Chains A and B, each alone.
Chain A
Amino acid sequence: MLDPGFAQFVGESLPRLNGYAYALTGNTHAADDLVQDTLVKLAGAWRRVRHDGNPLGYARAVMFRTYVSGWRILRRRPALEEYRDTPAPEDRYAAVEARDALRRGLTRLPRLQRAVLVLGYLDDMTDEEIAALLDRRPATIRSLRFRGLQALREHLSPRDQQDQTAHDERR
Chain B
Amino acid sequence: MKRVEDLLREELRRRDPGVPASREEMLARVARVRRRRRSAATAGLATVVVGAVAAVTVGLHGSAGQSAAGDGDTGTPQYTGELTNAIFTDARHGYVLQEYCGLIWPAQDPPPDGPTPDVHRQCRPQLLVTADGGHNWQERALPGDPAIKDAGVEIVQFHSLMFWVDRPGTLALGGWDRRYWTTTNGGQTWHESSTPRDVGPTGSLAVFGPGDRLTFLATYPPGHIPSDGWSKDNPVFAASDGSFWVTCATTSPCVQVTRDQGQTWRTQPLGGSVTAAEWVATANGQTVYAGARDGSEARLLRSTDGGETWAPVPDVTGLPEHTAGGTVLPNGDLVMIAATEAGGMYRLEAGTATVEKVATAPAHPSTPYLTGGVLVAGPMWAESGQPDLESLVSVSPDNGSTWLAVPAPTP
Which residues of A come within 8 Å of B, CB atoms? 1-2, 7, 10-11, 14, 18, 22-23, 27-29, 31-32, 35-36, 39-40, 43-44, 68-70, 72-78, 80-81, 98-99, 102-103, 106, 110-113, 117-118, 121-122, 136, 144, 149, 152-153, 156, 160
Contacts and interface: CB of A to CB of B under 8 A. Distances in A.
Contact of A74 (B12, B23, B82, B121): B121
B342 to A, nearest CB: 10
Interface of B: 1, 4-5, 7-9, 11-14, 16, 18-23, 26-27, 29-31, 33-34, 78, 80, 82, 103, 105-106, 109-110, 112-117, 119, 121, 148-150, 157, 228-230, 232, 341, 382, 384
Contact of A70 (B7, B109, B148): B109
B106 A70 contact: yes
B117 A70 contact: yes
Given A10-B26, A32-B26, A149-B8, 10 more contacts: A10-B27, A11-B23, A31-B18, A35-B21, A36-B30, A36-B33, A39-B30, A69-B109, A112-B113, A152-B4
A74 B103 contact: yes
Contact of B149 (A28, A32, A81): A81
Contacts of A110: 112-116
B21 A111 contact: no
A102 B8 contact: yes
Contacts of B16: 22, 28
Given A40-B34, A102-B8, A29 B113 contact: no
24 contacts: A2-B27, A7-B23, A10-B26, A29-B232, A32-B21, A35-B26, A40-B33, A44-B34, A70-B106, A74-B119, A75-B78, A75-B80, A75-B384, A76-B382, A76-B384, A77-B229, A78-B148, A80-B229, A98-B7, A110-B112, A110-B114, A117-B12, A121-B12, A153-B4
A43 B34 contact: yes
Nearest to B15: A19
Nearest to A73: B116
Which of B12, B82, B382, B384 is most buried by chain A, counting CB atoms within 10 A of its CB? B12
